[in-house]
A and B are shown apart, each in its own frame.
Chain A
Amino acid sequence: MNVKNLVLSRNVFALLSVLGTANNQAVLPFITRQGVPLVYPATGSSLMAKPFHQYLFPIQVTYTVEGKVLTDYAAKVLHAKRIGVFYQNDDFGAEGLAAVTARAKQDGVTLADSEPYQITDTDLSAQALKLKQAKVDAVIIFAIPSPAGTFIGTSRRIGLKAALLSSSIAAQPALLTALGPAGEGIYFSNFSPLPDSSDPKVVFYRQVLKQYGDPTTTPIGPFTEAGVGAAEVFVEGLRRAGRNLTRQGFIRALETFRAYNGSLYPKLTYTATNHGGVQGAYVMQSRHGAFVQVAPFEYPS
């Protein structure tokens, strides 16, 4: 409804960041019919890139890539032999589970147990207990922040000693502070630089927030970083499209990106037949309430 309002009533030129797999899938037929480009559908679902959608320009790394990176890290760095998965019972979680299942086989580790949760669940102790019973060495989490926090806190309370690795979706500083000591040592995948990095692009991001943002509503963190990064991609597309701006011209301009490194996102490539977004991720760990990178970028096959 909001997207229709923006396109039909407000006559917007393009869209930036619709949140969530289901929402993006819902608006896709409409924006395709209307010919409206959407930059940064805010989801890591592979469905945003495959099959190819002319008007969609995903940026976020897919849950499939995250699943592969986290499984590789658990198997090769943490030497886990038995992996468990805790996942949201929808397309987001299912994609992560499928990726971990396939990659675990490739890496020679056992997928010992997988436990789904519903987004309305308020207690996740049953899932944590079953993963503990399965004697897993590592649990890979595909959950949004609130249930991820509940699961991590519950796991620690019931004595689940496995390493916990999570998709970037749950990598929120507020989650770490809510967890307290239970949030120490959790691994997360990520595809953009750390918000407190000294990387010049991140310094610029913090400057933008300081000048135009509000610490209450736009705090420094992964979500505002995602927004600024998406805007940078959008603006570069507008710049390349030139003065006689049309929607088709904007799309063609975005499709000239070849390993573009001018935004917060690394090596962004769009072609006339592939709008894949970021294709790799790295692993970071929570230490003393902050995130520390512990592995280099991986571009899994």
Chain B
Amino acid sequence: MSDLVQVVLSGLVTGGIYALLAAGLTLIFQVSGVVNFAQGALAAVGAYTCWSLENQHDVALVPALAFTACGLFLLGCVMQAILLRRLAGDLASSVIVTLGLLIVLEGGIGIAFGYSPPARPLSLPLPDGQFNLGSWALSQQELVLAAIPALLVGALLLGLRYTRIGATVRAVAQSARGARLVGIRVDRVRLGAWGVGAILAGAAGILIPSASTSPISPGMVDPYLLSAFTGAVIGGLDSLPGAAVGGWGLGIIQNLVSYYTPSQVTNWGIGKDTVIFALLLAVLMARPTGVFGTPIQRRV
């Protein structure tokens, strides 16, 4: 049983990163209609910005995080204002542009910092001990890593639900035209959504080195982004809570499948990816808008 608890806890840590990426993807998609394939690159930009401030400019962690968040917010706004604003509604072009941004941002990181991992790590001051819950000894580090995305996504959802700004964002997500008619500055809301989406990506990028205990690298977020996107689609791209839950759920399911699948079966190529994409197909066939997404309704 304690192994099962460990598998679920580790799945929550990974799923939390998926949830952060998925929440950012979904927020941007809902408000601006763009699927942001550069979300992973924004995460890497966040990780490298924080790393550079701490290790190259001797900035303490908290100010480094604050500055990184501000910088990412601005970057997200610039991406929307200059590149994506005119492509609202043009899915094909926005996919191409965001894919191009992915390549440019990751390439830019490689040019600025090199493609080899830097000698000094990006690590957060996480506790090292164990937390005893009955007979289960849980890693404090993993508990904190699982809690941080929950707090961030929770804060976002509460903000969207209970604040005036959140109400305007929801209005634009529901109907940009309707929002304009009632005087909401839709362009500004979209800028803000891109900014917040970039911050969520950056948070994921900063957590990944601690969660995976591996050095930062320009492409380090790529394996997470595919799963995050899958989780968002399963949860529902038009439901931010659904996308986040999809991310967490995917993290746990991946771990459970990995744990219970014999290695001989995995060697045949049948493993968690098979199960996840089978699940994705099943959800898309049964409920194309996702488990928590709004069903498409047509007048007949």
Contact = CB atoms under 8 A, between A and B. Distances in A.
A9 interface: no
A69 B172 CA distance: 63
A126 B4 CA distance: 9
22 contacts: A115-B263, A120-B226, A122-B17, A122-B254, A125-B10, A126-B259, A127-B258, A129-B6, A145-B117, A145-B214, A146-B212, A146-B217, A148-B214, A149-B212, A149-B213, A149-B215, A150-B213, A153-B214, A172-B117, A177-B119, A178-B214, A219-B119
B108 to A, nearest CB: 14
Interface of B: 3, 6-7, 10-11, 13-14, 17, 113-121, 123, 128, 137, 139, 141-142, 209, 212-215, 217, 220, 223-224, 226-227, 251, 254-255, 258-259, 263, 266-267, 271-273
A172 B215 CA distance: 10
B16 to A, nearest CB: 11
The SS class assigned to the B binding surface is helix
Contact of A116 (B251, B259, B266): B266
Contact of B113 (A119, A122, A216): A216
Contacts of A125: 6-7, 10-11, 255, 259
Nearest to A223: B116
Given A89-B266, A89-B267, A174 B215 contact: yes
Interface residues of A, number: 46
A114 B267 CA distance: 11
Interface string A95-123: 00000000000000000011110111111
A182 interface: yes
Interface in A121-157: 121-123, 125-127, 129-130, 133, 145-150, 152-154, 157
Contacts of A119: 223
A174 B116 contact: yes
Contacts of B6: 125, 129, 158
